[in-house]
Structure 1
Amino acid sequence: MHFPSRLIAGAAVSLVLGSAASTAAQEFNWRQFEGQTINGILNEGPLVSAYIEPQLREFEDLTGITVRLEKLADSQARQKLDIVLSGKDPSVDFFNVQMDERGGAYTVAGYLENLEGYLANPALTPADYNYPGDWAKGCLATTKVVKDAPLNNLVFSAQAQLLHIREDLFRQHGVKIPETLDELEEAAKKLTIRDANGNIETYGFISRGAGLQATASFGTYLRNFGGSWFREENGVKTANFASKESIDAFEYYGRLIREYAPPAALTNQHAANANLFASGKVAILSELNFYIYNFNDPARSRIAGNATTILVPRGPAGSYPNIPTTSFAISSFSQKKDASWLFLAWITGKEQLLYAQKNGTPVCRESAWVDPSYQAPSPAWGEASRLAVQYGRALAKPPAIAINEVREAVGKVIDVAIRDGSRAAIEAEASKQAAIVDELIARTEKDSLFTGPEQTGQPSAPIEAQRRPIELIGLAN
């Protein structure tokens, strides 16, 4: 399989480099592409409004490069990028991408520029950039999804699926903060609180239960039980979500939602679940970590000051945080690749990602998490989120080219696990959907080198790491 590579003319490199190689003190030339305009497509949201846009003027003043951004809703951004890239349209220079979603298909199709030459070129990358040295291992494990492909993306943001808890309710009712999945179920049971008439005042737990989006939260529970989306059998990629360990995870996850969550969990999107938690209706929420900023804002939350965050408790197979990461990439068809790279190298620089970290975007640079000027929204949240980027894996989505179809198949099993809950029914649906997925993989990934994000080699978070966020809460377990 051919992957696009960057060709650098020797004479041009010599002119740009000058005497840079002879002295480490040489100032980096930020104005080498002055006067160029670059165009990007980015997903609308905090990544743009709280991280990129506030820093754009500084970059433009520094470099003389004009950056034009088209901000689109997630689905619209994906649709437009599919059209632009498949048409080899040079009008878009850079964009953001989740490698566990579109990254595999884009890599196989040759849409993503090889970035290795840029990183290795001291005329294009500042000497103190420190990639991969300053990047968390969990983030780096999400960058390559196709066997033998070069590095074609810069991972910068790592949201994490963690456990948000009502610290005040745990204190008031003397409930142990859970370190294990068994303890999580016990806590959900005790914190499902009823009034004198038997009506539920506070639900013990909530997580995603609706369709394909439920895989994003379920992935950690699956891995912590020892299950997985796929396995390799005689060299063939095979669905593994009908295995015993996977069924154990479906059964557990379905029971938590069925018995301790409000009925709306079956249809809610994740923002609606977060709103229920912020309203004080739920004691434990399994969801993305960035929502802590909503929970601690008195204008948006009734529980401000009472919410904090821990890792999803460990299961029989260990503790594997789920980190859905976001990367920047350059289009292979861009005619302004060098200028685009300069922007990406700057906006993912140490100071710029520290700015993002301070403004609610959890980032992949380890230095941002330990910088003395950074203050986490709560000590436990800060430690749990830092551990997630260190030990995490991209578990939110099954690694497949036909990713939406596979997620829908898994979502149907989750639905049965919630609504029915019997092991026999879960096993039957899982076997049915696994057979459908096996046929789909055989058809869509024949002769493909797609592997999905790295799922092996990353260790489980140690028991002592699991306990650290809990210890910072100050509740004696």
Structure 2
Amino acid sequence: MKNRLNRVLSIGLVASMSMGLLAACGSGGNAQPKAQEPAKGTDTKAAAKPFEGKKLTIVLANHPWGDAIKALLPQFEEKTGMKVDVQSFFEDQLSQKLTVQFTAGSATPDVFMYRPLQEAKLYYKNGWIAPLDEYAKKDADYDLADYSKASISTVTVDGKLSGIPTITEQHILYYRKDLLEKAGIPVPKTMDELEAAAKKLNDPKNEMYGFVARGQRSALVTQVGSFMYSEGADFMKDGKATINTPEAIKGMTIYTNLLKNYGPPGVLNMSWPQAIGVFAQGKAAFFADANSIYKNAIDPEKSKVADKVGYAQFPAGSKGSQPYNVTSWGLAMNSKAANKDAAWEFIKWATSKEITLQTQNKGNPGARLSVWDKPEGIAAFPKEWAAVAKEEQKGGVDHSLPPVNNVGEARDIIGAVVQKALTGEDIKAAADQANKDFQALIDKENGK
């Protein structure tokens, strides 16, 4: 019995060895090795989704871009395994909420929409914003170089990236195609041509005005800036106020004369809604303002000239066409966010080429040049508008407001120059006084 058992064990051992050799040699030696089991303690799901189970708090503005992102959030949550809590506020409410929470040292929100022109410098100075340079540059696929130069410059503070651009806007010229065609006037390419055309088409007796734009004290500053830039001026340089230089005064004078000589009544009280309202009602031949508000001019329910609106690049001054080309909205990271890598994952996704294309298809003009180069990237916009926006993305000036912390006070100081000139006061005297006041503000912010 014992001998028989030994024979059975021997036969089994030989068979096992033979099967092992056959498996190793296989048919022609092409057998695939058996897949290794994951090491104990390895979570393959976590490896694929490193932020699985994390939660982010995102604060957005009540803005079309924010609406577009909220609709796409399920894609992000599925891709990353994260959950996103979204809160939305109107602009002023948003600024107030962020200021209160950041002042208190809150770690939430992790990511937030902000207005770089008004808030980047102040937020960065207060330590509320986490610089994104290392995040944006370490991932070659993210392609930071795909952003327009001016858009990145707008969100850069003290050489650091304070956020990522989401919405851009440029200063353009709106015009009435039918009026120009009837009068045989070509689309103005220079300031001199614009003034000549506005003069020719100005007909106050029939409630037709040659030109309309913002005349309200604070609101006009973003617009008069492009007129100044195109004459080689700026609000300040190297910490010095420069709004009374000959170039600055010339730019402000051109703007003032257009409004004073060819503008509608009540222009002193007009911000952009009132100004574009005049244009949309068919009472102005030209309107200069941000391209982002164009829908107000072509909405048949709001506009009597919806099918007669044309778009052109900002007219050239003595230093060429130098309109503002800015990031009006961006995404930033809370410097006290508990999980900055997770927060960046959201920013990276929301500002990727793929998502930018989707949000731009909803009518939100982004800053990625590659998206502007795609036919589907401009499909949501009027053809002529898109051509002008794409061209102006290539250059322009990266700010439409003076780069100081207290933007509101600076706007009031500078806007007063144009308002005084509109009411008949000497523009040089007004500019000299404003320059002193503006310099005092700059010095105060710099601790002088």
TM-score, structure 1 as length reference? 0.80
Question: Within 5 A, what are the aligned runs for 1:179-194?
Answer: 179-194=189-204
Q: Could you tell which deviates more after superposition, 71-80 or 292-301?
A: 292-301
RMSD: 2.0
**Closer/same/farther in 2, CA of residues 294 and 439 from structure 1, 3 Å limit:** closer
Partner Cα separation in structure 1 for residue 142 and residue 315 of structure 2: 35
Partner Cα separation in structure 2 for residue 427 and residue 120 of structure 1: 46
Match of 2:344 in 1: 341
Among candidates 124, 147, 150, match of residue 138 of structure 1: 150
1:256 is paired with a residue whose SS is helix
1:132-184 deviations in whole A, cap 9, x for unaligned?
x21112212212122xx432311222111211111111112211210100111
1:293 equivalent to 2:290? Answer: no
Contact 2:256 2:418 in 1 (8 A): yes
Measured after TM superposition, the shift of residue 30 of structure 1 is 6.9
Contact 2:356 2:366 in 1 (8 A): yes
Match of 1:433 in 2: 434
1:397-441 deviations in whole A, cap 9, x for unaligned?
111122211111001111012221x6xx11111111111111121
Partner Cα separation in structure 1 for residue 48 and residue 197 of structure 2: 54
Match of 2:418 in 1: 414
Partner Cα separation in structure 2 for residue 45 and residue 98 of structure 1: 12
Contact 1:225 1:249 in 2 (8 A): yes
Among candidates 302, 313, 316, match of residue 314 of structure 1: 316
Partner Cα separation in structure 2 for residue 336 and residue 350 of structure 1: 24
What letter corresponds to residue 432 of structure 1 in structure 2?
Answer: Q
Measured after TM superposition, the shift of residue 376 of structure 1 is 5.5
Match of 1:253 in 2: 255
**Closer/same/farther in 2, CA of residues 318 and 61 from structure 1, 3 Å limit:** same
1:346-400 deviations in whole A, cap 9, x for unaligned?
1111111112222211110001111122325333211211122210223311111
Q: State the identity %.
A: 28
1:67 is paired with a residue whose SS is strand
1:214 equivalent to 2:214? Answer: no
What letter corresponds to residue 126 of structure 2 in structure 1?
Answer: A
Partner Cα separation in structure 2 for residue 30 and residue 243 of structure 1: 59
Q: Which runs of 5+ in 2 are unaligned?
A: 1-41
Match of 1:11 in 2: none
Question: Within 5 A, what are the aligned runs for 1:102-251?
Answer: 102-121=119-138, 125=139, 128-131=141-144, 133-146=145-158, 149-194=159-204, 199-232=205-238, 237-251=239-253
Q: Which runs of 5+ in 1 are unaligned?
A: 1-17, 19-27, 448-477
1:392 equivalent to 2:385? Answer: no
1:65-102 deviations in whole A, cap 9, x for unaligned?
22222222212211221111122111211112232221
Measured after TM superposition, the shift of residue 313 of structure 1 is 0.2
Partner Cα separation in structure 2 for residue 419 and residue 61 of structure 1: 60
Question: Within 5 A, what are the aligned runs for 1:43-62?
Answer: 43-49=61-67, 51-62=68-79
Match of 2:114 in 1: 97
Q: How many pairs align?
A: 402
Richer in helix (by share) = 2
1:42-83 deviations in whole A, cap 9, x for unaligned?
22122212x322212222222222222222221221122111
Partner Cα separation in structure 2 for residue 324 and residue 116 of structure 1: 19
Partner Cα separation in structure 2 for residue 166 and residue 120 of structure 1: 44
What letter corresponds to residue 362 of structure 1 in structure 2?
Answer: P
1:379 equivalent to 2:383? Answer: yes
TM-score, structure 2 as length reference? 0.85
Match of 2:15 in 1: none
**Closer/same/farther in 2, CA of residues 65 and 241 from structure 1, 3 Å limit:** same
1:204 is paired with a residue whose SS is strand
Partner Cα separation in structure 1 for residue 293 and residue 406 of structure 2: 29
Partner Cα separation in structure 1 for residue 99 and residue 69 of structure 2: 23
